[in-house]
Structure 1
């Protein structure tokens, strides 16, 4: 029952423990929220660093392209091609190749440089196969200057031709009349952009992609299917590329996407990771805290039962014994306390004194009962005498008569 000592002790312990557990859980939730924000901030900073790296790399290539277009060597080469002077063209071609070699040697980012003029280029001289290539068609039809990862067979050497590259396609213009005469193509290795990307870690299964605004891969990556809502948000930011890393939460699949648009190229760095994976350590820590709290609660309740047993069990037996004693059944009252080991503590003192009290009470009751019984018998006899005194006199006379007869018989014999 609720008013029992054990129940009250357990209730007190529970009322003391539960508030601390709830307070600890609330504090843990606040700490977990702070950790979640910290993890998200760290992920955003990681993606920002990679975006800054790509932005720096592409900006340098863009500056190099501007430098090449503005150089006297390039402008002289364009004019020699327009004049159709074969001797001058050969000399200008030689100068341009040396100029391109110096550009490549002075930059660790640039893999190759080529000029495409009509049906001719700097390294292969003849052939119009590049006109059907994806990078050139995207440039002419859609104005896409930054080419996705591809193989460029119009480079200087077999090794270069078999290496996957990304490139900047830049209009080759005569600065005197600002008319486009061809295109300048500067390539950089795809691996120079992809290797740092592959080193980024978003949990154990998280991935980071470099894509175009329509969701196509920029590097040699297989892009997962991205949510349509995410691509819509990316495309809406295409004109505003200084927004930093944004966060998109796919609540249906419980995924988090981090994305940032590059200002120079328009490319988008997208990191995708499941919430479960990203916050796995927090989840595990929270589960451990709950498990430890449950274990401590069970241990506390068990200790409370054990502690209360040393108090409640003897008192409960005393109460049961008292009920039998109250009803006058001393045998059952003593049987309840039978074989009860008395401990040397306050409860043991109480139990010992209770047993002595019961013994003295039983002895007193038995003595009092016997005295009452004798007194009642005497009162009963006295009452009988009061009720029938004549019969008593008759019996007394008869007794005297028999005594006389007996006396006479004895005297005659003598």
Structure 2
């Protein structure tokens, strides 16, 4: 039996909206109140968890800062200063050094924390106190291990809470004083304000004695706090809720034991205030249910009218698209009254998709060209970091040897090489520019290897203005130098350019160990698959890079040969067939 979409919508709206409201109004008011209580409890616990997570994060940063101060060399030197019998000027210098270290740590901290370090005699980085054993907060820390202090006024700050950490010599483990890390109380107050328990609820952060950690008197009355703490003794869980009675009024108290010292987060509300919205809601549910039933019928009719007809037209157009008749499908698209609903969006999206298909087919060739250019850039980027690292190693080595003049020479060469390398406006240069770049590069190598490296450069003036992509010679020369020193104490490198007919020939040769036949076969794969070089691993990555980029740039106009010379060495020949204009120049 066929049932129209309009009738289905009427049935769905009736089942989903009207019947549930009638059921809630007539049959389960008490159950509804239980649900409200459960939801309120879950929401309260969730807000308390969020505060707990925030406070844990904040106090963890405070503890980490205290530990950083403890292990800081400046702190340890100051701890040992009294034992070393230093002069007053030396002690003052060490104290100022420590204050500088503390200032640096506080500047890098995003929580506005401050740190003071005090020795047992009261000497401190921020102020001088009486001997620590005479101070109340130190006695609580020393006798009862109370590391987290309630809110108080520091001598140069607003209200703060503090974390106390024993100050001791890491070598002898002798207690020498205390590290006091302060953080603004307002950070906890602002986070605590987000914990809400209805309009009439109260929230406080207390210690195990019922005192407000944030200073002043708790928002929750002292009687309720005492009764709640007493009830909590019978609960072993970290979180929970207890019910206490003050006079004739019942109160719900939600609590969570914090991971910080003996702190307890406590939220309190009268049960009558908690359930007041539920009672009011129950009285109005019946009336609302009647109105919802009438509105359901009206809305179902309107929505079905705006959905069924456009969907039918859209379905017909989709059938035409399946047959490849895009122009006919576009004419049959339903008219869109508004684009702010799902049907309007679906029609618009399908119409745009149809147009996009044709555009994608036309632009496929352009995408291939862009991918080829991106691959070329990726290959080029493999060179620059390697070159810069090697050059910096040369500068570092010369500096260590005190060769200041050579450092200046290398720096000048490096600056000009970087200017050439970082010229991103040009990927193609002349052969003369590439040879000039290699002259600077080889000068850097000569400064590094001195008399152990001989480099000869021969260039054909006829190729000076012939264009070529950047960095085709540097990786080859770099490899030639590297492998020549494996078997020889002296490396001999030759670089030459020649014009042979309509071809530009570039040659790099050395007296090294040669290239294994397996590597030469692997390099031949670049001719069959240009993408292999991007995934290359292991040896000869520089040579693979050069061959890959030349293949990408020149295609069939590029060829090469690799020869192992007798008795030793390698000759790599790069051959580029010049265009007619380049050959005439």
Q: Tell me if 1:152 matches 2:154.
A: yes
Report deviation, 1:143.
2.0
**How far, CA to CA, are the matches of 1:144 and 1:72 in structure 2?**
27
Shift of 1:267: 0.5
Q: Is the 8 A contact 1:213 1:235 kept in 2?
A: no
Q: Which residue of 1 aligns with 2:29?
A: 28
Distance 1:281 1:96, change over 3 A: same
CA contact (8 A) 2:161 2:183 kept: yes
More divergent stretch after superposition (31-40 vs 225-234): 225-234
Which of residues 229, 240, 248 in structure 1 aligns to 2:242?
A: 248
Please tell me whether the aligned partners of residues 211 and 269 of structure 1 are also in contact (alpha carbons under 8 angstroms): yes
Q: In the aligned structure 2, how far is the partner of 1:72 from the partner of 1:268?
A: 36
Distance between the aligned counterparts of 1:129 and 1:194, measured in 2? 32
Matches within 5 A, 1:14-93: 24-86=25-87, 87-93=89-95
Aligned mates of 1:113, 1:236 — CA distance in 2: 39
Conserved 8 A contact 1:97-1:122: no
1: CA distance, partners of 2:227 / 2:81: 52
Matched residues in 1 for 2:117 and 2:194: separation?
34
1:210-263 alpha-carbon deviations (Å, 9 max, x no partner): 1001111100342222243421344567xx7xx443111225632111111112
Aligned to 2:178: 183
Alignment check: 8 A CA contact 2:22 2:286 kept: no
Shift of 1:188: 0.6
Give the CA RMSD over aligned residues. 2.7
- Written as runs of structure 1 = structure 2, the 5 A alignment for 1:148-227 is 148-153=150-155, 158=156, 160=157, 163-223=158-218, 224-225=221-222, 226-227=224-225
Which residue in 1 is equivalent to 2:229?
A: 231
- The whole-number CA distance in structure 1 between the counterparts of 2:115 and 2:34 is 50
Q: How many residues align?
A: 263
The structure where helix makes up a greater share of residues is: 1
SS of residue in 2 equivalent to 1:81: coil
1:195/1:228 CA distance change after superposition, 3 Å: same
1:194/1:235 CA distance change after superposition, 3 Å: farther
Counterpart CA distance in 2 for 1:140 and 1:236 is 30
1:283 match: 279
- What is the CA distance between 1:132 and its match in structure 2? 4.8
Are 1:121 and 2:123 an aligned pair? yes
Gap runs ≥5 in structure 1:
1-19, 294-414
Secondary structure of 2:171's aligned partner = coil
* Structure of greater relative contact order (alpha carbons < 8 Å, 6+ residues apart): 1
Q: How much has 1:42 moved relative to structure 2?
A: 0.6
Which consecutive unaligned segments of at least 5 residues does structure 2 have? 1-20, 290-585
Q: Equivalent residue of 2:29, what SS?
A: helix
* Local SS of the residue matching 2:208: coil
Residue 148 of structure 1, CA deviation:
0.4
> Is the 2:122–2:132 Cα contact (8 Å) retained in structure 1?
no
CA shift, 1:24, in A, is 4.0
Q: TM-score, normalised on structure 1?
A: 0.58
C-alpha distance in structure 1 between counterparts of 2:288 and 2:93, whole Å: 82
CA contact (8 A) 2:204 2:265 kept: yes
How much does 1:125 deviate? 4.8
2:27 aligns to what SS in structure 1? helix
Structure having the higher Rg: 1
Alpha-carbon offset, residue 58 of structure 1: 0.9
Partner of residue 477, structure 2? none
Determine helix, strand or coil for the equivalent of 1:259.
strand
